[in-house]
């Protein structure tokens, strides 16, 4: 059984003006997500600026998320690293802190071979009992791509590796993956502009940036598809495209934090090397948020 089905939010980590974690706002944002029908919280991923958190902060944020959610929906913790031992450490600690599942990104910088990827993910999986979703995002990992054959082998050979978040943008590769996978791989879209296409190939849902600002619409996009209202699902997908484009006009999570700032959901503060959104891009983002009805 899939860890979740539908719209999971790749939730941001709000910071105070002094760049410490704003746990009070974090709790409010989680409540906003649950009220909007979000089906899962994915914490300390790319959008959560995990790469700028210390290990202690990283685990504290996971623990706080688990506490605030209080088992109402699944909490999936990002615990990947380019160092296998670090990924094992973070994964074990996230399990201790009550996460329901793990999202483990392809090792970055090292440029592992497919053999290295299999060994890395297998070692992480064998260190915990939690179900694991692989995270395939070549644009952030030096172009390293988990090939369909590797994903299927991992999901079939390692009991607690259950699926993949695909952020390759390569629909042909996803189609090949699902043709090989049968029922053995839970597929989640990692790109908000490709939710409906991946659902049509057998996807279980999305791990979404858009959901930070539009949880109900993102949830409904998935639910309508599952309910057989393909036209309704497609309508939300297409209507959301200009906003999605604005949310990715600069590197994630710069725009989504600006969007949350405009909504009063965070200060908009980012940790370096991320910088504030360029004014011309922020103006377009605000316009598209108004058009979409969230401002």
Residue 134's H or E segment, with its range, is strand 132-136
Sorted by where each begins, the domain ranges of the chain are 6-230
Cα 117-122-123 angle, rounded to 5 deg: 105
Q: What is the dihedral of CA 46, 51, 55, 60, to 10 degrees?
A: -40
Q: Which of 68, 118, 135, 258 is catalytic?
A: 135
Q: Is the pTM of this model over 0.85?
A: yes
* Lowest-confidence segment of 1-5, 76-80, 212-216 by average pLDDT: 1-5
- Whole-Å CA distances, 25 to 11, 88, 165: 12, 29, 27
The pLDDT tens digits of the residues spanning 57-94 come to: 999 999 999 999 999 999 999 999 999 999 999 999 99
Whole-number percent of the chain with pLDDT over 70: 100
Decide if 4 contacts 163 (C-beta within 8 A): no
pLDDT at 219 (0 to 100): 98
Contacts of 83 by beta carbon, 8 Å cutoff, 6+ apart: 107
The Cα–Cα gap between 59 and 94 comes to 7
Angle of helix 279-292 versus helix 230-247 axis, rounded to 10: 160
The pLDDT tens digits of the residues spanning 157-173 come to: 999 999 999 999 999 99
Q: Which of 118, 165, 257, 258 is catalytic?
A: 165
The secondary structure of residue 231, as a DSSP letter, is H
The pLDDT tens digits of the residues spanning 38-48 come to: 999 999 999 99
The pLDDT tens digits of the residues spanning 119-142 come to: 999 999 999 999 999 999 999 999
**Average per-residue pLDDT for the chain:** 97
pLDDT at 19 (0 to 100): 97
Decide if 77 contacts 62 (C-beta within 8 A): yes
Rg of the Cα trace of the chain? 18
Strand 132-136 to strand 161-166: parallel, antiparallel, or no bridges (unpaired)? parallel
Give the other-Cβ count within 10 Å of 85's Cβ.
11
Q: DSSP assignment of 248-274, as one string?
A: TSSSTTHHHHHHHHHHTSS-----TT-
Residue 108 annotated in active site? no
pLDDT at 1 (0 to 100): 76
20 has pLDDT over 80: yes
149 pLDDT band, cuts 50/70/90, is very high
CATH of domain 6-230: 3.20.20.70
The Cα–Cα gap between 145 and 83 comes to 17
Give the other-Cβ count within 10 Å of 121's Cβ.
25
Q: Can you tell me whether residue 164 is helix, strand or coil?
A: strand
Calculate the CA 291 to chain-centre distance. Answer: 25
pLDDT at 11 (0 to 100): 98
């Amino acid at each position: 059984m899939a860890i979740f089905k539908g719209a999971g939010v790749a939730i941001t980590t709000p910071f105070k003006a002094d760049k410490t974690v704003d746990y009070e706002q974090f709790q409010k944002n989680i409540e906003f997500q649950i009220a909007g029908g979000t089906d899962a919280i994915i914490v300390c991923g790319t959008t959560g600026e995990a790469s700028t958190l210390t290990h202690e902060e990283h685990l504290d944020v996971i623990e706080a998320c688990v506490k605030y959610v209080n088992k109402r929906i699944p909490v999936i913790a990002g615990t990947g690293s380019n160092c296998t031992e670090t990924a094992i450490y973070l994964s074990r600690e996230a399990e201790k802190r009550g996460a329901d599942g793990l999202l483990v990104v392809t090792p970055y910088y090292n440029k592992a071979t497919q053999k290295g990827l299999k060994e890395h993910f297998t070692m992480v999986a064998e260190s915990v009992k939690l179900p694991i979703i692989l995270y395939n995002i070549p644009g952030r990992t030096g172009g390293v791509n988990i090939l369909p054959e590797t994903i299927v082998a991992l999901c079939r050979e390692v009991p607690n590796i259950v699926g993949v978040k695909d952020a390759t943008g390569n629909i042909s590769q996803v189609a090949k993956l699902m043709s090989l996978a049968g029922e053995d791989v839970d597929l989640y879209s990692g790109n908000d502009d490709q939710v409906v296409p991946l659902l049509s190939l057998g996807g279980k849902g999305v791990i979404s940036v858009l959901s930070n600002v539009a949880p109900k619409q993102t949830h409904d996009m998935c639910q309508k598809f599952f309910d057989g209202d393909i036209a309704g699902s497609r309508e939300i997908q297409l209507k959301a495209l200009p906003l999605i484009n604005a949310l990715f006009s600069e590197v994630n999570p710069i725009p989504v934090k600006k969007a949350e700032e405009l909504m009063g959901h965070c200060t908009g503060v980012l940790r370096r090397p991320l910088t504030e959104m360029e004014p011309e891009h922020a103006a377009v983002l605000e316009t598209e948020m108004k058009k979409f009805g969230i401002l």
